[in-house]
Amino acid sequence: MHFLQKFLRLSSAKPLVLLFGLVPFAWLFWGAATDALGANPAEFLSRATGDWTLRFLCLTLAITPLRQFLGWPELARFRRMLGLLTYFYVLLHLLCYSWLDMGFDWADTVRDITKRPFIWLGFGAFVLLTLLAATSLNRAVRWLGSKRWQRLHQSVYVVAALSLLHFFWMRAGKNNFTEVWVYAAVIAVLLGWRVRRFFAKT
């Protein structure tokens, strides 16, 4: 058995992965506290939390394909935690926007989002992610029934699409799409895997 697989079976693996997932947060927090985030820390934090949301979304979406590809069932028990870490970073991202950018001024915020429709896409993804996070408990599966629960949680693909569009639109101002294509490629591969399996089964 692969040593990684052995690690994943340890009871301490989950808290360790969680700790690992909070490293970017700690790094950002420390950077903000010591003024080490460059000339425009507010912008840096908004962008970094957006980047980390996308990264954790990719990691979450990678769990199932990796589990199937490697034949490692141990991976499954990390999926919810990664999903919740994604939600944690998107919450921070939204907090950065509404606090650092808008100073919690709702009139300004309304004016701003009418100017910047790419924010709607991001906000749409956030609303969906909120539903998924709220129904992430085992109890929710029982309450909704596994069929309905699964269908609801398939909307994570919509979240991925909205997030990518949000990122693409934001970068359109400078025609600077390199990173957007990288995330798009990763997500395309992860979704492609599922589509292929779906058609292989039917």
* Interacting residues toward another protein by CB under 8 A: 32, 38-43, 45, 99-101, 103, 105, 108, 111-112, 115-116, 173-176
For another protein, the closer of residues 81 and 170 by Cβ is 170
For another protein, the closer of residues 57 and 119 by Cβ is 119
For another protein, the closer of residues 54 and 61 by Cβ is 54
For another protein, the closer of residues 7 and 99 by Cβ is 99
* 103 DSSP 8-state letter: T
Kindly state the smallest distance separating residue 42's Cβ from another protein, in Å.
6
Which residues make Cβ contacts (< 8 Å) with residue 36, sequence separation at least 6? 30
Kindly state the smallest distance separating residue 169's Cβ from another protein, in Å.
9
Gap between the Cα atoms of 162 and 123, Å rounded: 9
Angle at 126 between CA 56 and CA 102, to 5 degrees: 105
Kindly state the smallest distance separating residue 91's Cβ from another protein, in Å.
17
Kindly state the smallest distance separating residue 50's Cβ from another protein, in Å.
15
Number of other residues whose CB lies within 10 A of the CB of residue 96 = 21
For another protein, the closer of residues 12 and 175 by Cβ is 175
Kindly state the smallest distance separating residue 161's Cβ from another protein, in Å.
21
Q: Which of these, 177, 160, 200, 185, lies nearest to 53 by C-alpha position?
A: 160
User: Mapped to the 3 state alphabet, what secondary structure does 129-164 carry?
Assistant: HHHHHHCCCHHHHHHHCHHHHHHHHCCHHHHHHHHH
